[in-house]
Structure 1
Amino acid sequence: MARPRKDAAPDLSKSAEITVGSIERLTCPEGKLQAFMRDNKSPGFRVRVTANGAKSFVFEGKLNGQTVRITIGDVRAWELPKARAEANRLRVLLDGGLDPRHEVKAQAAANTIRDQRTELEKVTVQTAWTAYLAARKDSWGDRHYDDHTALAKPGGVVVKRGTKGTGKTQPGPIYPLLSLRLTELTPSRIEAWAIKQGAERPTYGRLAWRCLKAFIAWCAEEDDYKGVVQEGAAKTRKARDAFGKAGHKKDVLLKEQLPAWFDAVRNLPSKTLAAYLQVLLLIGSRRGELMALKWTDIDQRWKSMTIRDKVEGDRQIPLTPYVWSLIDALPRVNTFVFASTRKKDHSIADPNSAMETACTAAGVPGLTLHGLRRSFKSLTEWLEIPAGVVAQIMGHKPSATAEKHYTVRPLDLVRVHHERIESWVLEQAKVSMPAKKDETAKVEAV
């Protein structure tokens, strides 16, 4: 019998030793979708060729009378000796009564998980932080969301004020962590970050630290990030100690300081800011709640104001006479009562500068906007106003069972106490109530 030419295609009707050369010469017979070249050295070892010329190593055997066929891999990806060894390994499993397909599926699943894990470990804090803010936005108030956004700002924006002479805004405390991978948010890395932030800006850094703890806890519960970052990575003693204990602020406006403070505030060049600061003291609200006040929140008929409460959603408080005189004198620029003169359709953004100017002029430096809220509560002690009334005006939750479940205090009853507070504060500040418009008209007519 004549020997086949070296360039001839292998005879697929017989088993023969599979070699690199025979694989190269292997072709699919015309009219067939696929064909197999069998190896005579390793039972069950095959090379499959398809009609389009694709070639792969295959193992084939019998289990319980049924054919088991497993693809090992592409001939271009597997070296021949390794492919033959894999076929022999699968043969051992089959001889032991095990179905190699189960192992192959398990291995494929493990590889998939490993690949996903590898990709997940590449995720940066920036990516996860952005996803975190998007996921939580509907559950947060605008102010809380803006605080989180500001914590991660890159800084470097050229501004004229508030930069302590640098001329550019500073990066947010979270910003240095954004370039890290989630896997790099280790306790030691966070401790080093906390020590630096605690030395430079402990108060703002402490806020960032609390937000970072919540962010890491969220990652630990999300399927997309679960197991990538250590859940308690930010809860170490060193990280906590880096910021020290939060002090209790005691800045407050005393009764004897009221005349100087009111005089300085009323002489501010911006009537909007002057009105804002006075109203903030006289109703004891949070700074953001008052900035968000809109004209539609004012009910002149029933003399009430609706405050968008960050705790309860909203609350109604009395519209006292002096507060209304201040508000009524403001121009209707947009939907906001305390409207910005720089940004269209915005409220005032930063009353701190005006507050600082007024407090310096009045000789009460260090008084903050939240200090005015504290001052409202403190000044009511002079009048022995019921604590529940003050809490209702300020938007504090009731602190006693009777107050929570049994006291129903109508707005008119609150108004009696609130107007009394306003009248007493103005009396101490030596501020006279402005004449009503109709009374002014009568005087001019005379």
Structure 2
Amino acid sequence: MPTVPSRARLTAARVEAFACPPGKSQAFLWDTDAPALAVRATPTGRKTYTFESRLHGKTLRLSIGDVRAWTLAAARAEATRLTLLVDSGTDPREQKRQHEAEQAAQAAALAAQAVTVGEAWAAYLADRRPHWGERHYSDHEALARAGGQSAVRGTRGRGVTVAGPLHPLMSQPLRELTTPAIEAWAQREGRTRPTVARLAWRLLRAFLAWCSEHPDYRAAVPERNPAKSRRAREALGKPQAKDDALLKEQLPGWFAAVQAIRNPAQSAYLQGLLLVGARPGELLGLRWDDMNTQWRGLTIRDKVEGERVIPLTPYVWHLLAGLPRRGQYVFAGEDGDKPMSKPHKAHASACAVAAIDGLTLHGLRRSFGTLSEWLELPAGVVAQIQGHKPSATAEKHYRVRPLDLLRLHHERLEAWILEQAGVQFDAAQQPGKLRAVGG
């Protein structure tokens, strides 16, 4: 077999005829016109154009490409380009990595430009759900939910649900969620439902902060959070402090009207709100398993701390024990699988009978704290029962009140409220056999 030269002027014919000699793992045929260019052949018959030079005292070898994909002229041009880079001290491999990184960044930017607010919002909820409570997660879902669903309750006579304040933004491209767009949204929502829109705005602001840190979405949002706008905040207005609460003198009329409600679960729920001091949603989600009759405790699922245990006071115990068991929830709905709806209408009707204006369900929780001042109960005790965060260093680090100590104060407050309301109640009677009437 004739000896194959190691260097020759490459031609299409020579490239075609070049082969790896038997017994060798590879062979090179170097070009005389472009000295850094060679054809590399392997025993399998594969042939590629190869570049070789020296950079910073070390051999640098790069594959240009398969001879079937590259013409000889194109391979010589590429070898020349790589030679110029090496002669200038530039590593072609590093340049390639930078180029690929730039291409990837451009592709990510293009993808981010196309993503909608709804797509990013769904990713945001999936990412943050392990760190949120159920109430916080459901708020995000409800505020972005589409309307138009048939419903019997909670629609104020419309018969269909109303879209959440964030829903109009969900179909927009994320890149178009600019400060002017958010300000225009705040103007619209602030005119009709400012309270829920303020919550939506706070959630939107946190969402955009998350987008600015996420590699898939940061290219679509500006560095400065577009929701942090003075005009948007002003358009939504300031929340008005609520002051609705029962006066001591109103207790007899309120109890008489609420006890006259024909639905026992609604009646017990409203009385429980006043006597337990829980948030309306917390008490509504009470399960039978949350009642510990041995140690007379109630486990309240707290939106702040996760859960808290408060005393199961005698009157509340009798109220709850007298309710029928229709599933896991104490205040069960008709099907028993979910809690009943909040009895806003029933309470409003009772308040009208008692000539009490503007008292909300949350106002009953506020009444618990207000009425406790008549007995000068320790503020920390009331805060612990209601699930408020401690407001002082001593409360945070040096006050750990057991259930029995809370019960001492809580039962005293319950007895005083019932006395002021004229409710005759024997705490010694069997739970569930309650016979209480307004005086």
- Secondary structure at the counterpart of residue 114 of structure 2: coil
Q: Find 2:321's aligned residue among 315, 328, 334.
A: 328
Match of 2:297 in 1: 304
- Secondary structure at the counterpart of residue 331 of structure 1: coil
RMSD: 3.8
Q: Find 2:131's aligned residue among 133, 139, 156.
A: 139
2: distance between equivalents of 1:55 and 1:365? 91
Greater alpha carbon shift after TM alignment, 143-152 vs 390-399: 390-399
What TM-score do the two structures reach when normalised by structure 1? 0.80
| Pairing of 1:278-289 with structure 2 (within 5 A) | 278-289=271-282
2: distance between equivalents of 1:90 and 1:151? 57
Change (3 A) 1:421 1:52: same
Instruction: Tell me by how many angstroms 1:42 deviates.
Output: 7.3
2: distance between equivalents of 1:439 and 1:201? 42
2: distance between equivalents of 1:79 and 1:191? 58
For residue 264 of structure 1, what is the amino acid of its counterpart?
Answer: A
Instruction: Tell me by how many angstroms 1:393 deviates.
Output: 2.0
Q: Find 1:175's aligned residue among 167, 181, 184.
A: 167
Residue 252 in 1 paired to residue 245 in 2?
yes
Match of 1:60 in 2: 51
1: distance between equivalents of 2:124 and 2:204? 11
Change (3 A) 1:256 1:237: same
Instruction: Tell me by how many angstroms 1:438 deviates.
Output: 9.6
1: distance between equivalents of 2:91 and 2:431? 97
**Contact map agreement 2:318 2:432 (CA 8 A) in 1:** no
2: distance between equivalents of 1:85 and 1:29? 21
Instruction: Tell me by how many angstroms 1:82 deviates.
Output: 8.3
2: distance between equivalents of 1:439 and 1:160? 32
**Contact map agreement 2:323 2:330 (CA 8 A) in 1:** yes
Match of 1:158 in 2: 150
Residue 397 in 1 paired to residue 389 in 2?
yes
**Contact map agreement 2:19 2:42 (CA 8 A) in 1:** no
Q: Find 2:344's aligned residue among 343, 346, 352.
A: 352
Match of 2:270 in 1: 277
**Contact map agreement 1:271 1:330 (CA 8 A) in 2:** yes
1: distance between equivalents of 2:193 and 2:46? 64
* Structure showing greater relative contact order (alpha-carbon pairs closer than 8 Å, 6 or more residues apart): 2
2: distance between equivalents of 1:440 and 1:100? 88
**Contact map agreement 1:275 1:326 (CA 8 A) in 2:** yes
**Contact map agreement 2:278 2:386 (CA 8 A) in 1:** yes
- Secondary structure at the counterpart of residue 310 of structure 2: strand
Match of 2:4 in 1: none
Instruction: Tell me by how many angstroms 1:235 deviates.
Output: 0.7
| Pairing of 1:354-373 with structure 2 (within 5 A) | 354-373=346-365
**Contact map agreement 1:27 1:53 (CA 8 A) in 2:** no
Match of 2:3 in 1: none
Instruction: Tell me by how many angstroms 1:115 deviates.
Output: 1.9
**Contact map agreement 2:8 2:32 (CA 8 A) in 1:** no
Match of 1:265 in 2: 258
Change (3 A) 1:389 1:30: closer
**Contact map agreement 2:53 2:83 (CA 8 A) in 1:** no
2: distance between equivalents of 1:123 and 1:27? 49
Instruction: Tell me by how many angstroms 1:265 deviates.
Output: 1.9
- Secondary structure at the counterpart of residue 376 of structure 2: coil
For residue 330 of structure 1, what is the amino acid of its counterpart?
Answer: L
Residue identity over aligned pairs, in percent, reads: 50
Match of 1:444 in 2: none
Residue 217 in 1 paired to residue 217 in 2?
no
What TM-score do the two structures reach when normalised by structure 2? 0.81
**Contact map agreement 2:8 2:31 (CA 8 A) in 1:** no
**Contact map agreement 1:15 1:37 (CA 8 A) in 2:** no
Change (3 A) 1:404 1:162: closer
Change (3 A) 1:98 1:376: closer
For residue 141 of structure 2, what is the amino acid of its counterpart?
Answer: T
Instruction: Tell me by how many angstroms 1:331 deviates.
Output: 0.8
2: distance between equivalents of 1:104 and 1:438? 79
For residue 425 of structure 1, what is the amino acid of its counterpart?
Answer: I
User: Deviation digits for residues 137-196 of structure 1, max 9, x if unmatched?
Assistant: 222221111111111111110123333443321111121222223322222222222221
**Contact map agreement 1:187 1:236 (CA 8 A) in 2:** yes
**Contact map agreement 2:36 2:53 (CA 8 A) in 1:** no
Instruction: Tell me by how many angstroms 1:394 deviates.
Output: 1.5
Count of residues in correspondence between the two structures:
422
Instruction: Tell me by how many angstroms 1:135 deviates.
Output: 2.2
Q: Find 1:114's aligned residue among 101, 106, 113.
A: 106
Change (3 A) 1:172 1:36: farther
Q: Find 1:104's aligned residue among 96, 111, 122.
A: 96
2: distance between equivalents of 1:370 and 1:53? 82
Instruction: Tell me by how many angstroms 1:276 deviates.
Output: 0.7
Structure 1 residues not aligned, in runs of 5+ = 1-12, 442-446
Q: Find 1:234's aligned residue among 224, 227, 233.
A: 227
